[in-house]
Amino acid sequence: MPGCDLVLIGSSTGGLKVLEQLFQRLPVLKAAIVIVQHITPLVDQSFVASLARVSKMPVLLAQQGMALQSGKVYLAPGNVHLTLLRNSVVQLSDGDKVNSVRPSVDVAMKSISMPYGCKIAGVILTGMGADGAAGISHIKQLGGITIAQDQKTSVIYGMPKAAAETGRIDFILPTERIADKMKELFS
């Protein structure tokens, strides 16, 4: 099923810097990429603009009902949860905070299913707390590929550490190797 491959990236404190390093190294991938960054509504547009300056793929602020397209990057807006309907249609809601945050990486990752013939990857980058640990376990349980940033290249090693401690991470890598792994999986 072409066009159904998906990468969901979760990040928080230090995320913009790490994401810029990651996207500078990435070509246009054969997957839709969704980023859930702990962010406020006042910052989300400038975050998109900063990432778009370094990305070879178009970077968009996700909107309600938007259909994901391969080769594009979507950022969850600030202060709303993002879920995916059938892995391909953006749903936004202002439900209760999860792990004290909204948007929550766990909420987005737990909305993913594994359609036959599709490749799904979950990536947890720098950030405080444990948001993403339950979500990454869900992706692994579905048969997806799971990646966490290593301690050395993380600005804050909370989220990647919590993800690694689940025992459900396939690859613990520095930023540049995460880009290489994504190229290997989705080029």
Q: Could you tell me the residue ranges of all domains in the chain?
A: 6-186
How far is it, in rounded angstroms, from Cα 144 to Cα 22? 20
Residue 24 has φ and ψ, to the nearest 5°, of -60, -30
For 61-119, write each residue's pLDDT tens digit. Answer: 999 999 999 999 999 999 999 999 999 999 999 999 999 999 999 999 999 998 888 99
Tokens of 68: 């994901």
Tokens of 142: 């579905």
Choosing from 131, 137, 138, 154, the catalytic residue is 131
Local confidence band at 21 (pLDDT 50, 70, 90 cut-offs): very high
How far is it, in rounded angstroms, from Cα 112 to Cα 108? 7
Active site residue 131: yes
Count CA atoms within 13 Å of residue 67 on its CB side: 3
| Per-residue model confidence (pLDDT) at position 71 | 98
Q: For the chain, report the end-to-end CA distance as a whole number of angstroms.
A: 16
Choosing from 5, 11, 12, 104, the catalytic residue is 12
What is the CATH code of the structural domain delimited by 6-186?
A: 3.40.50.180
1: pLDDT strictly greater than 70: no
Active site residue 38: yes
The mean per-residue pLDDT over the stretch 54-64 comes to 98
Choosing from 5, 11, 38, 111, the catalytic residue is 38
Active site residue 104: no
Write down the mean pLDDT value for the chain. 96
